[in-house]
């Protein structure tokens, strides 16, 4: 029996599902061929496995297999999408729009482009973490070439209105990218209905292996041009060179297949677990729910706690549960999360926050233990604070 704390940090990463692991294993040793080797069966076997994952991913988002470009994860997919569009379309315009609450893998490529002369608008969010569509509508410029808005937020779990944003971009002939790292396998995604042109995906947030992801690149209506950010053997139709990592790709496919098959029942189960955790915690005074109450990922609960010190809170929770503070950096820094700050929180509330990321292997008994310990910790810290 392990005495390690209960894992509740599923927005950071998830364990590889045993079924995914089993599917990957033969591709390390037996079917080890290079999928680009076209002259023998070793290559064909690997290529067949890669093709299967392409088909699974394409079906998952209503795309075609040719539109899937494998990358090392969502960070690389975001970089390829944002810098690749900027480089391919800079003659058309040099303005990009994104949101203040995006992952750093979107924010930082945008900031990098600013140093090259691109203009970037970081749109604000409402108190519930959702973007204001009216504000987006007025921020478009004639020289806007790209809008990047994440599907599901990794800190507060809110789901942005992709269909509405996609339509607004399509009406104006502007490319729409979404970082769907937290969304694949959790909520329905449809690049046709949502009018998405580029979508970043990753396997390790859905019980697949780390180090593998993909970028969906629209090929028709419109055909999106992308300048490659890594040159070499011309893999992935020239958009991303490098020998394909077959075992990881097989795992990505299997993980997606399982997540989709179980999406409906798992969403229900996680919603109940989150609800139960929130019911218990919110009996304490001064507990705030961060993010929209219903338009959010089933497994995400993010709270801010009044009248406690953020670092002390995390330290008190640590022995029992593995959770993150909303804080962008480690608990030793005093910088509060850019996401919680964007919600308009005071520094104290932004800092004293806890992100519970509930996942496939968590149970009701674990949630009960976590709730009990969290309540005891908060009460004890508040009591100490009133004594000094
Ligand atoms: C985890 C995450 C990323 C980074 O993905 P990697 O595959 O680890 O590079 C990007 N965006 C969001 C929203 C994420 O949650």
Residue 358 belongs to a domain with what CATH number? Answer: 3.90.1150.10
Q: Specify the residue for token string 């973007």.
A: 131
Q: Are residues 168 and 279 in the same domain?
A: no
User: Cα(81) to centroid of ligand 1, in Å?
Assistant: 14
Among 200, 46, 225, CA closest to 145 = 225
Domain boundary among 256, 278, 296: 256
- In a domain, residue 55? The reply is yes
User: Are 247 and 271 found together in one domain?
Assistant: no
The answer on 250 and 225 residing in a single domain is yes
Distances in Å between the Cα of 66 and the Cα atoms of 36, 119, 265, 369 are 15, 32, 31, 47
31/178 same-domain check: yes
Determine contact, residues 379/284, Cβ cutoff 8 Å: yes
What percent of the chain stands above pLDDT 70? Answer: 97
Give the integer Cα–Cα distance in Å for 337 and 152: 17
DSSP three-state, residue 76: helix
Q: How far is the CA of 131 from the centre of ligand 1 (A)?
A: 20
- Ligand 1 pocket test: pick from 105, 185, 251 the residue with the most ligand atoms within 8 Å of its Cβ: 105
Compare 284 and 333 and report the one with higher pLDDT. 284
* Total domains present in the chain: 2
Determine whether 332 is exposed, middle or buried from the number of CB atoms within 10 Å of its CB (0-12, 13-18, 19+).
Answer: exposed
For residue 96, being part of any structural domain is answered with yes
pLDDT tens-digit series, residues 264-278: 999 999 999 999 999
Q: Which backbone phi and psi does 146 adopt, to 5 degrees?
A: -150, 140
Does 185 share its domain with 59?
Answer: yes
pLDDT band for position 2 (cuts 50, 70, 90): low
Pocket test for ligand 1, best of 73, 106, 178, 201 (most atoms within 8 A of CB): 73
Please report how the helices 104-115 and 74-89 are oriented relative to each other, as an axis angle in degrees rounded to 10. 30
Mutate to test the pocket of ligand 1, among 103, 178, 296, 355 (most ligand atoms within 8 A of CB): 103
Whole-angstrom Cα distance, residue 242 to residue 180? Answer: 23
Closest alpha carbon to 339 in 104, 149, 138, 145: 104
What Cα–Cα distance (Å) separates residue 110 from each residue in 155, 202, 274, 377?
A: 20, 20, 34, 40
Query: Hey, whose CA ends up nearest to atom 9 of ligand 1?
Result: 75
Co-location of 117 and 241 in the same domain: yes
Residue 194 belongs to what H/E stretch? none
4, 2, 14, 47: which is closest to 299 by C-alpha? 14
Judge if 249 and 342 occupy the same domain.
Answer: no
DSSP state of 160: P
Question: For the segment 51-89, what is each residue's pLDDT rounded down to a tens digit?
Answer: 999 999 999 999 999 999 999 999 999 999 999 999 999
Tell which atom from ligand 1 comes closest to the C-alpha of 78. 10
- Asked if the structure places residue 317 within a domain, the reply is yes
- Rounded to the nearest angstrom, the distance between the alpha carbon of 315 and the centre of ligand 1 is 25
Q: Would you say the C-alpha torsion 88, 124, 109, 292 has a positive or negative sign?
A: negative
Q: Which atom belonging to ligand 1 lies closest to the Cα atom of 211?
A: 7
Strand 300-305 to strand 68-71: parallel, antiparallel, or no bridges (unpaired)?
Answer: unpaired
Say yes or no: 10 and 70 in one domain: no
Atom of ligand 1 nearest to the CA of 11: 15
Confidence (pLDDT) at 331? 47
Are residues 69 and 199 located together in one domain of the fold?
Answer: yes
- The verdict on residue 47 lying in a domain is yes
The answer on 56 and 166 residing in a single domain is yes
Give the distance (Å) from ligand 1 centre to CA of residue 106. Answer: 9
169 catalytic? Reply is no
Share of the chain above pLDDT 90, in %: 93
> Which residues line ligand 1 at a C-beta cut-off of 6 Å?
73-75, 103, 105, 150, 154, 179, 181-182, 202, 205, 213
Do 79 and 109 form a contact (C-beta atoms < 8 A)? Answer: yes
Mean pLDDT, residues 143-149 taken together? 98
Per-residue pLDDT at 330: 46
Question: Which parts of 122-245 fold into alpha helices (H)?
Answer: 133-139, 162-171
- Per-residue pLDDT of 239-249, as tens digits, reads 999 999 999 99
**Residue 150 maps to a domain:** yes
Longest dimension (CA), the chain: 76
Which of 256, 275, 300 is a domain's end point?
Answer: 256
Give the range of the structural domain holding residue 320, as residue numbers without chain letter: 6-14+263-387
Same domain, 283 and 373: yes
Final residue belonging to a domain, choices 209, 237, 256:
256
Task: Determine the distance separating the centroid of ligand 1 and the alpha carbon of 201, expressed in angstroms.
Answer: 8
Per 3-state DSSP, the chain is made up of helix, strand and coil in percentages (nearest 5) of 40, 15, 45
Does 270 fall in a domain? yes
The pLDDT value given to residue 346: 86
Answer yes or no: are the C-beta atoms of 195 and 222 closer than 8 Å: no
Q: Where are the alpha helices (DSSP H) in the chain?
A: 18-24, 26-29, 41-61, 74-89, 104-115, 133-139, 162-171, 246-281, 310-317, 338-342, 347-351, 364-387
Nearest atom in ligand 1 to the alpha carbon of residue 102 is 13
Name the helix (H) or strand (E) containing 97.
strand 95-99
Residue 256 has pLDDT above 50, yes or no: yes
Position 178 confidence tier, pLDDT thresholds 50, 70, 90: very high
**1 assigned to some structural domain:** no
pLDDT in tens, 212-231: 999 999 999 999 999 999 99
- Residue 3: pLDDT band with limits 50, 70, 90: confident
Residue 218: give its domain's CATH number.
3.40.640.10
Q: How far apart are CA 319 and CA 304, in angstroms?
A: 20
pLDDT at 327 over 70: no
Q: Is 86 part of any domain?
A: yes
Query: Within this chain, do residues 223 and 319 fall inside the same structural domain, yes or no?
Result: no
Where residue 343 falls among pLDDT bands split at 50, 70, 90? very high
Q: Under a CB-based contact definition with an 8 Å cutoff, are residues 317 and 373 in contact?
A: yes
């Amino acid at each position: 029996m392990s005495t390690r704390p209960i894992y509740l940090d599923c927005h950071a990463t998830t364990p590889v599902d045993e079924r995914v692991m089993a599917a990957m294993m033969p591709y390390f040793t037996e079917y080890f061929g290079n999928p680009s080797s076209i002259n023998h069966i070793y290559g064909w076997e690997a290529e067949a496995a890669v093709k299967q994952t392409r088909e699974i991913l394409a079906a998952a988002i209503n795309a075609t297999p040719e539109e899937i470009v494998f990358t090392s994860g969502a960070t690389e997919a975001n970089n390829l999408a944002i810098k690749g569009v900027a480089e391919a379309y800079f003659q058309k315009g040099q303005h990009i729009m994104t949101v203040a609450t995006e992952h750093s893998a979107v924010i930082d490529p945008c900031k990098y482009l600013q140093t090259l002369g691109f203009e970037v608008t970081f749109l604000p969010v409402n108190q519930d973490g959702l973007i204001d569509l009216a504000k987006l509508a007025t921020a478009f410029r004639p020289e806007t070439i790209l809008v990047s808005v994440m599907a599901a937020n990794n800190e507060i779990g809110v789901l942005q209105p992709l269909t509405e944003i996609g339509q607004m971009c399509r009406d104006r002939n502007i490319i729409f990218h979404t970082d769907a790292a937290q969304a694949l396998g959790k909520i329905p995604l449809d690049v046709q209905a949502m009018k998405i042109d580029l979508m970043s995906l990753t396997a390790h947030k859905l019980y697949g292996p780390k180090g593998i992801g993909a970028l969906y690149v629209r090929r028709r209506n419109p055909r999106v041009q992308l300048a490659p950010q890594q040159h070499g053997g011309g893999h992935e139709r020239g958009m991303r060179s490098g020998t394909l990592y077959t075992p990881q790709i097989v795992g990505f496919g299997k993980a997606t297949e399982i997540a989709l098959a179980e999406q409906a029942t798992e969403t229900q189960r996680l919603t109940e677990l989150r609800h139960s955790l929130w019911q218990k915690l919110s009996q304490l005074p001064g507990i705030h729910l961060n993010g929209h109450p219903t338009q959010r990922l089933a497994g995400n609960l993010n709270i801010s706690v009044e009248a406690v010190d953020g670092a002390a809170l995390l330290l008190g929770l640590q022995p029992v549960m593995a959770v993150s503070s909303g804080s962008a950096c480690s608990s030793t820094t005093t910088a509060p999360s850019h996401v919680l700050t964007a919600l308009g929180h005071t520094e104290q509330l932004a800092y004293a926050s806890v992100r519970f990321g509930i996942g496939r292997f968590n149970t009701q008994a674990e949630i009960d233990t976590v709730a009990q310990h969290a309540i005891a910790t908060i009460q004890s810290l508040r009591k100490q604070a009133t004594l000094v």
